[in-house]
Structure 1
Amino acid sequence: MGKRFLASAGALSGARLLTALSQLLVLPIIARYLTAEEFGLVALAMTLVLFAQLFSDAGLSRSLIRQEQYHPEEWSAVFWLLFGIGLGLALIALAIAPVWAWVFEAPELFGMVAALSVTPMFLSLAAVPNARLERENRFGTLALIRAGAALAGMMAAAALALAGAGVWAMVVQQILLTVIQCGAGLAFSGFRPMLPRWQSQLSNHLIFARDSLGASLLQTTQRQVPMMLIGHHLGPASLGLFSMTSRLLNQPSMALSGPMAQVVYVRMAAAQGDDGQLGALYVGSIRLLALAIFPPMAVLAGAGGDLFALLLSEPWRKVGFLFALAAPGFALEAAVATAGVMFQAVGRTGLRLRMIVERTVLRLVTLALAVPFGIEAVALAITLFVFAYTPRYWAFAHRAVPFDRRAALSALGMTTGISVVTWGAMYLLARQGGDWATLGWAVVILAASWAAAAAIQWSRLRASLATFGR
């Protein structure tokens, strides 16, 4: 069973890693053909679209997975409800497009937002088929779908960038990703919706979705409102630099903690009522995520601007400094993030929502105070806030499922110590050689850091994997 968990998590993580790799491979091409201002415009367009996209699922697919029995009528009712939501979201985004362009005094935003407005509809159509694949533990199929979509989007973006399409290279990439995921999900899941009719069972799903949707809305607000503040106060060029940094910093969450959360959610949902097992699953996920995320983030943070200038081109050198300031916060947040699905697995979505309301308000106030001092202050404020709020985050999670917070801290501490040493070594070596030498040292030090972190906690890592296999 532990091997099966690794296979499931590995398949999804592999697909997400491929998606992340495709983003990283295409970024050097796009970065050479798009200015920071154009990159900032894409970030502004995606800010509005991401708010629409988070409503496309509304948390209903998570609720379906929690059901012990599969009822085709119930799943079909959710499918048609989501289809209506997705269509409505597309029309709303289309209507807001001219207003968005006017607010930010950028006429180009109208066409970009109008084109991207179709993505929430395709995501809504894909939600139930993908939930069917998850419920049946067909994570390998999900991985193939996502990997194929990522590769297609990467090739399209690269070709369009080389052809001089500018911002449309990234717009088309996003549209293609959602279209392929929707079509392939419907094709391979085996799910075929029945004719729509009202189902009384929807009431429980709607209550679950209400709290989950509120949480998703607040989480998206945490990420996107700072983008809007930077774009409004500091301009598209500063926003472009910050957006590029955020894209790189979000790769661990997208490639590792996201897939881990999907697989852990299924395990936690099955372990409802067993607090000991649920707590062990959470602590185990922290240990595995810290091992996977902390060392590479430390290497990149220590490498400085040379490595980013080599990969992205000289105008993006400043990204290295911004990355180093925000990396500790992003890494810690990604490592402990599976507490979110623990709330959902035990049905404590209301408690989760209250926690996220508090965190959102405090985080936005912190970042709003930092914006006038520049994007460097915003990056540092992110790290300081995450470190300050994590104990409070764990206090909320402990109310949902009592878990050993000392064990969770220990799971972070061992890899953190290795990562601090890794950062120091990388920082010193990066100042001794050129860009290519820095890249070579980064590979060597990362391998050594992973090996050392795994060796000093090998028995505990095996115990964590055994927990997932029960």
Structure 2
Amino acid sequence: MNANPPPQFGRVALRGGLVTAGSQGFKMVIQFISVIILARLLVPEDFGLVASVGPIVAFVGLLQNLGLQQALVQRKDISDRQLNQVFWVSALVGLGSSVVVAALAPAIAAFYGDQRMLGITLASALPLLLGSIAAVPLALMNRHLQFGQLALNDVVTAAAGLLAAAIAAWAGMGYWSLVLGPAVAAVVALAAAWLVVRWTPSRPDLKVDGDILSFGANLTGFNLVNFFSRNLDNILIGKYSGAIELGYYDRAYKLLLFPLQNITQPLTRVMVPLLSRIHDDKARFRDLYVRTNWMLAAVTMPGIAALTLTSDQVVALLFGPRWTAVAPIFAWLGIASLTQSVSSTTGWIFICQGKTKTMFQWGIYSSLTTVAAFIVGLHWGAVGVAAAYAISGYVLRVPVLAVLVHRVGPVTAGDFLIMQGLFIVSSLLAWLAYLGLPASLAGQSDLLAVALALCLNYGFALVLMLIFPQSRRMLSATLPNIARNIR
């Protein structure tokens, strides 16, 4: 199977991005509804119990396909034999991952000193196997640029998971509803993928080509160290601060960072196959990457800044008065996530150019600095962990990542830092303007306060984009194309 750039490549990229953005809009609405409904039907301890097990299960789950799914998308040519090899290896690894999680259940329950963890862990093992079996059909849909079908599958899967969890919570199943939702979503995702793709595996073959295996192994290594560092906060808070405080932290994290991931992860699905097809054309590669990230930053960073600025009001509106302890955690995570919409896309540069070894090395450094920050901040509880994570990101990780991106190319450190710096400056200006508002205006209602913060942040961001030449050129080139494709 050959993967040459399609005709009208730019239009394919733009339409793929618009379709993905639309579907993710629906998915984010579903996610927010899920967070709000379940917060009102369940208690903080329910979320804390499942959140304590979740990182361990998901960490093992990173071995589901050994990075081979992304290798299928990135390669220029792929044969039926190679597809069959990847399918059977992924299925075997998925089965092994499920067995490992089930075997760890007693140890996890003993670690937390709570036998409820035993059943939660056992029930969480099944989606790992189902995800592995779906790996190849999902990769083929991505490789063939079936962005519309992928987007539809995502929305249906998210809705099914929410419906199952909400019904279970309403029926009084407590923390079990948070386990049932992902299980139902995994079943729906598997069925939808295989219904769309016509490919079927042949007899088992476990001999994967060396270059595919090397690509996947380095990518898996990055995912493992990165995920470990990103989720160690849950383990540490759950162990040393308790399930209730972890429940507060979990709600803040999901409210802010999960919607952000729901933008960048599906966008990765669009950009990786497209950038992989033009990675030899460095000028074209850089142009597409930079333009995409300017738009991504323009959409996400002012919104995150506004929600961070009004964290007390946002938490009160969405969760109610019993969740006020979430607000300071939410604010620090908001500061941390300001740059993450752009920083997280640097993986496209490494993956699409086959530089997964460099990506793995960066992951080791990033994970070590993140873990150190968590340990330092743990003394002050969940708020301290969030604050240490935010501060260490700006001081230790963003500058190093900029240098590494510049060395790999063709995107420069200037490209990477300028687009983030502009919106950080606009956020600071909006913050100063918000503080200058009369108390009688901003204090009228929580909803009005959030609306004012949003208007100020997006307003200052637009003004700076029009002033700065690089962002102004990007707007003049991109907005007309978006308008034509919407029509």
Higher mean C-alpha deviation, range 251-260 or range 339-348 = 251-260
Give the match for residue 95 of structure 1. 103
Residue 260 of structure 2 corresponds to residue 253 of structure 1 = yes
For the structure 1 residues 429 and 338, does the alpha-carbon distance in structure 2 shift closer, same or farther, using more than 3 Å as the test? same
For the structure 1 residues 107 and 402, does the alpha-carbon distance in structure 2 shift closer, same or farther, using more than 3 Å as the test? same
SS state at 1:253 partner: helix
Offset of 1:109 from its aligned partner? 0.9
8 Å CA contact 1:333–1:386 kept in 2: the answer is: no
Give the match for residue 349 of structure 2. 342
Alignment map for 1:360-375 (pairs within 5 Å): 360-375=367-382
Give the match for residue 311 of structure 1. 318
Residue 134 of structure 2 corresponds to residue 134 of structure 1 = no
Post-superposition CA distance 1:345-403 (Å, at most 9, x none)? 11111111111111111110121111012211111111111111201012122222242
Give the match for residue 155 of structure 1. 163
The residue type equivalent to 1:360 in the other structure is S
Higher mean C-alpha deviation, range 291-300 or range 397-406 = 397-406
Higher mean C-alpha deviation, range 10-19 or range 61-70 = 10-19
Residue 42 of structure 2 corresponds to residue 34 of structure 1 = yes
8 Å CA contact 1:371–1:378 kept in 2: the answer is: yes
The residue type equivalent to 1:374 in the other structure is G
Residue 384 of structure 2 corresponds to residue 377 of structure 1 = yes
Alignment map for 1:265-304 (pairs within 5 Å): 265-304=272-311
Cα separation, 2, equivalents of 1:33 and 1:427: 35
The residue type equivalent to 1:11 in the other structure is V
Offset of 1:311 from its aligned partner? 1.0
Which TM-score applies when normalising by structure 2?
0.90
Cα separation, 2, equivalents of 1:427 and 1:90: 52
SS state at 1:374 partner: helix
The residue type equivalent to 1:59 in the other structure is G
Structure 2 runs not aligned, ≥5 long: 1-8, 483-487
8 Å CA contact 2:251–2:326 kept in 1: the answer is: yes
Q: 2:186 aligns with which of 178, 184, 190?
A: 178
SS state at 2:204 partner: coil
Offset of 1:417 from its aligned partner? 2.6
8 Å CA contact 1:299–1:442 kept in 2: the answer is: yes
Cα separation, 1, equivalents of 2:438 and 2:256: 20
Residue 412 of structure 2 corresponds to residue 404 of structure 1 = yes
The residue type equivalent to 1:206 in the other structure is L
For the structure 1 residues 342 and 383, does the alpha-carbon distance in structure 2 shift closer, same or farther, using more than 3 Å as the test? same
> Quick one: higher RCO (CA 8 Å, sep 6+), 1 or 2?
1
SS state at 1:250 partner: helix
Post-superposition CA distance 1:269-314 (Å, at most 9, x none)? 1122333333333332331221111111112112132321221121
Offset of 1:138 from its aligned partner? 0.2
SS state at 1:359 partner: helix
For the structure 1 residues 392 and 102, does the alpha-carbon distance in structure 2 shift closer, same or farther, using more than 3 Å as the test? same
Higher mean C-alpha deviation, range 6-15 or range 155-164 = 6-15
Give the match for residue 331 of structure 1. 338
Offset of 1:244 from its aligned partner? 1.0
Alignment map for 1:41-190 (pairs within 5 Å): 41-190=49-198
For the structure 1 residues 431 and 105, does the alpha-carbon distance in structure 2 shift closer, same or farther, using more than 3 Å as the test? farther
| Count, aligned residues | 468
SS state at 2:129 partner: helix
Post-superposition CA distance 1:192-237 (Å, at most 9, x none)? 11222355x5222111111010000011101111111111111111
Which TM-score applies when normalising by structure 1?
0.93
Cα separation, 2, equivalents of 1:430 and 1:371: 37
The residue type equivalent to 2:315 in the other structure is F
The residue type equivalent to 1:108 in the other structure is R
For the structure 1 residues 159 and 357, does the alpha-carbon distance in structure 2 shift closer, same or farther, using more than 3 Å as the test? same
8 Å CA contact 1:33–1:162 kept in 2: the answer is: yes
Offset of 1:59 from its aligned partner? 0.9
Residue 473 of structure 2 corresponds to residue 459 of structure 1 = yes
Give the match for residue 3 of structure 2. none
Give the match for residue 430 of structure 2. 422
For the structure 1 residues 430 and 341, does the alpha-carbon distance in structure 2 shift closer, same or farther, using more than 3 Å as the test? farther
8 Å CA contact 1:302–1:430 kept in 2: the answer is: no
For the structure 1 residues 451 and 130, does the alpha-carbon distance in structure 2 shift closer, same or farther, using more than 3 Å as the test? farther
The residue type equivalent to 2:44 in the other structure is A
Cα separation, 2, equivalents of 1:364 and 1:78: 33
The residue type equivalent to 1:386 in the other structure is G
Higher mean C-alpha deviation, range 426-435 or range 108-117 = 426-435
Give the match for residue 202 of structure 1. 209
Residue 239 of structure 2 corresponds to residue 225 of structure 1 = no
The residue type equivalent to 1:382 in the other structure is Y
SS state at 1:56 partner: coil
8 Å CA contact 1:58–1:213 kept in 2: the answer is: yes
Cα separation, 2, equivalents of 1:431 and 1:226: 37
Cα separation, 2, equivalents of 1:276 and 1:78: 33
Offset of 1:104 from its aligned partner? 0.4
Structure 1 runs not aligned, ≥5 long: none
SS state at 2:338 partner: helix
Offset of 1:177 from its aligned partner? 1.4
Cα separation, 2, equivalents of 1:225 and 1:431: 40
Residue 446 of structure 2 corresponds to residue 438 of structure 1 = yes
Offset of 1:431 from its aligned partner? 5.9
The residue type equivalent to 2:312 in the other structure is G
The residue type equivalent to 2:92 in the other structure is G
Cα separation, 1, equivalents of 2:415 and 2:264: 19
Offset of 1:410 from its aligned partner? 2.3
Cα separation, 1, equivalents of 2:14 and 2:120: 40
SS state at 1:166 partner: coil
Q: What RMSD, in angstroms, separates the aligned Cα atoms of the two structures? A: 2.4
Cα separation, 2, equivalents of 1:358 and 1:32: 39
Give the match for residue 243 of structure 1. 250
Post-superposition CA distance 1:390-427 (Å, at most 9, x none)? 01012122222242322332222333333333344556
8 Å CA contact 1:346–1:400 kept in 2: the answer is: no
Cα separation, 1, equivalents of 2:479 and 2:204: 42
Cα separation, 2, equivalents of 1:435 and 1:168: 40
Cα separation, 2, equivalents of 1:266 and 1:311: 37
The residue type equivalent to 2:76 in the other structure is E
